[in-house]
């Protein structure tokens, strides 16, 4: 179905000649970070330090997926903030839930 309304709501950007280079660069970064994950998994002993490294690497991977693949780097700041700022609710839930999980642990096993 073709849009018959002649209302133009946004400015279309010209194709970016550098886009393909950026995509492949991001692919190699993501692949590299996943291999770093594997290296840490097999060579660093289990513990909180290792877990924090994994979570930080996950956030770095998320930055590259959202920024380059989802093109968010090139969006207007208002759109970026609208999507990124609500993530504080997720952070709040993580804090509350870890506290609750610790409470349950003490309730069952202490």
Partner 1 sequence: MSHAAESTLPTKLWGGGRSPFNVEYGKLMMWIFLLSDAFTFSALLISYGTIRYSFPPAEVHASIPFGSHIEMEELHHFFTPSTPGAELAVGVQPHWPSPDLVFNHFPFLHGHHLPLLFVSLMTFILIFSSVTMVLAVEAGNRNDKQTVAKFMYWTIAGGIGFLSCQAWEWTQFIHAGANLQNNPFGPVAFADLFFIVTGFHGFHVLSGVVLNIVITSNVLKGTYERRGHYDMVEKVGLYWHFVDLVWVFVFTFYYLI
Residues 6+ apart with CB under 8 A from 57: 33, 36, 37, 40
Please give the Cα distance from 58 to 17 (Å, whole number). Answer: 29
Q: Does 4 bind partner 1 (CB under 8 A)?
A: no
Q: Does 5 bind partner 1 (CB under 8 A)?
A: no
Say whether 76 sits in a helix, a strand or coil.
coil
Q: Does 44 bind partner 1 (CB under 8 A)?
A: no
| Residue of 5, 14, 43, 88 interacting with partner 1 (CB under 8 A) | 14
65, 30 contact by CB (below 8 A): yes
Q: Does 43 bind partner 1 (CB under 8 A)?
A: no
Tell me whether residue 37 is exposed, middle or buried, using C-beta atoms within 10 angstroms of its C-beta: 0 to 12, 13 to 18, 19 or more: middle
Q: Which stretches of the chain bind partner 1, using CB under 8 A? A: 2-3, 8-16, 19-20, 23-24, 26-27, 30-31, 34, 37-38, 41-42, 45-46, 50-51, 54-55, 57-58, 61-62, 65-66, 68-71, 75-76, 78-79, 82-83, 86-87, 89-90, 93-94, 97-98, 100-102, 104-105, 108-109
């Amino acid at each position: 179905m073709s849009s018959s309304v002649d209302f133009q709501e946004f400015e279309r950007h010209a194709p970016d000649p550098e886009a393909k280079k950026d995509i492949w660069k991001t692919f190699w970064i993501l692949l590299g970070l996943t291999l770093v994950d594997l290296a840490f998994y097999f060579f660093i002993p289990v513990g909180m330090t290792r877990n924090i490294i994994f979570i930080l690497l996950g956030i770095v991977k998320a930055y590259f997926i959202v920024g380059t693949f989802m093109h968010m780097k090139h969006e207007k700041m208002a759109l970026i903030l609208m999507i990124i700022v609500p993530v504080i609710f997720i952070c709040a839930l993580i804090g509350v839930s870890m506290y609750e999980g610790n409470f349950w642990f003490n309730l069952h096993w202490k």
